[in-house]
Amino acid sequence: MDSLQLGSYSFSSRLILGTGKFSSTRSMLEAVRSSGTQLVTVALRRFNRNQAEDDLFGPLSEIGGITLMPNTSGAATAKEAILAAHISRELSGSPFVKVEIHPNPHHLMPDPIETYEACKILAAEGFLVMPYIPADPVLAKRLEDVGCASVMPLGSAIGSGQGLSTAAMLSIIIRESGIPVIVDAGLRSPSEACAAMEMGCEAVLVNSAVAVARDPAAMAGAFARAVEAGRQASRAGIMPKSGTAVATSPLTSFLGTAP
Amino acid sequence: MPFIQIALNGQPQQIPEGSSVADLLALSGADRQQVAVVVNEHIVRPDERQGYPLHHNDQVDVLVFAGGG
C-alpha cells in the first residue's frame, strides 16, 4: 500500500488540511470530512469564554481517524515556538508539530535561523517536527540532519494563491531529500497540488484555497482527487520532454505513397 | 475576603487569595473544555491544577486550539 510515512505514523491520504479562515466551524468540519485528510493543522489561541466556537479540539476529535498537527504560528523566535510546541503537545497528545516562525506579518516568510534552532531542540525531544521553511535546499538538508520528520517548503507566500513560484528550488529539495517533502502554502487550485505531487512531493498542505472557496467541502474533495492523481502520475513515470516532435503514428506506407 | 491580582491572558484580574488554577478555570468558564494552562511560562497539567496555588502578579495563560494553517 502506498502511504505517507512520518515517523511511526502512516497515512493513506497525502492531503494535509489547515483549519484557518473558514466561515464557520461547521464549514471547516465538512471540508475535513470531504477531503479524507488524516492530518490536520490547528493553532493555539487564548481562551475566550465569549467565543467558545473557537475551540476546535472537541469537534475535530469527533471525526474519527484525524491526527492533529498543531502549529507554532504567532511565534517570532525559537524560544516561543518551543514553548508553543510543548503547550500543544500537552493539549493534543500528538507528537506532531508544525514549526512555523515568521516574525514579519507583512510577508510571513519563515525565519530560517530561528526555525533551525527550534527544530534541532524539538526533534531531540522526540517531536515529529514538520518545519515550514523557505524553499532552500541547504536549509532543508540541515533540517533533515537534525532529525525532522519532513520539510515543508513554501510554494509561495502564505495565503497568496501564487502557486508553485518556487518550483525550481522545490525540484532540487525533492531530488536531494531523504525525508518527505511537503509543499505548504501558496497553492490556489487543485491543478497546482497535482503538479506538486507530480514533481515528487510526498504530500501537500492546503488551507486558504479550500477555506475561501464558495463551496469549501467540494473544493476539499477536488484537492484530494488532484493529490491522488499527481501521486499516481509520479509513481507511474512521467514521460521525458523532447525538443522536437516525435511521431505517434506511422509516417510511411500511407495511401498513395511508395512502400 | 482578601484578593490578589493576576494577569489572565494578558488582562488584569482580581481573584480570591488562595485560589488554585482549577478555581480560576471554574471562575472563568474554562473548566468545561480541553484547555492548556501556562503559569509564568510553566505548563500546569490537568492533574496538577487542583493543588497549584496562584500568587499575586502571576501571569496565567489559558489556551485552546483554534483554526490555523
Report yes or no: A35 at the B interface, CB cutoff 8 Å: no
Q: What ranges do the domains of chain B cover?
A: 3-63
Q: How far is A252 from A233, CA to CA, in rounded Å?
A: 32
Give SS3 for A2. Answer: coil
User: Using one digit for the tens of pLDDT, what is the confidence trace for B51-69?
Assistant: 999 999 999 999 999 999 9
The stretch A183-188 carries a mean pLDDT of 95
> Taking Cα atoms as reference points, which of A119, A167, A163 lies closest to residue A143?
A119
Residue A84 has what pLDDT? 96
- What percent of chain A stands above pLDDT 90? 85
Map grid coordinates 467558545 to a residue: A52
CATH number of B3-63: 3.10.20.30
Domain A4-236 has CATH 3.40.50.1820: no
- The reply to whether A79 belongs to the active site is no
Residue A257 has what pLDDT? 62
Q: Residue B65: its chain A contacts at CB < 8 A?
A: 42-45, 55-57, 60, 68, 70, 88, 91-92
Residue A62 has what pLDDT? 86
Q: How far is A30 from A51, CA to CA, in rounded Å?
A: 20
Report yes or no: A229 at the B interface, CB cutoff 8 Å: no
Taking an 8 Å cut-off on Cβ atoms, the answer to whether A58 and B34 are in contact is: yes
| A85, A122 Cβ separation under 8 angstroms | yes
> Taking Cα atoms as reference points, which of A57, A68, A52 lies closest to residue A18?
A68
**Shortest CA distance from A47: residue in chain B:** B63
What value of ipTM does the predicted structure carry?
0.89
Residue A1 to residues A139, A229, B5, Cα–Cα distance (Å):
31, 16, 58
Q: What ranges do the domains of chain A cover?
A: 4-236
Rg (CA), chain B: 12
Quote the DSSP letter at residue A153.
Answer: E
User: Using one digit for the tens of pLDDT, what is the confidence trace for A143-154?
Assistant: 999 999 999 999
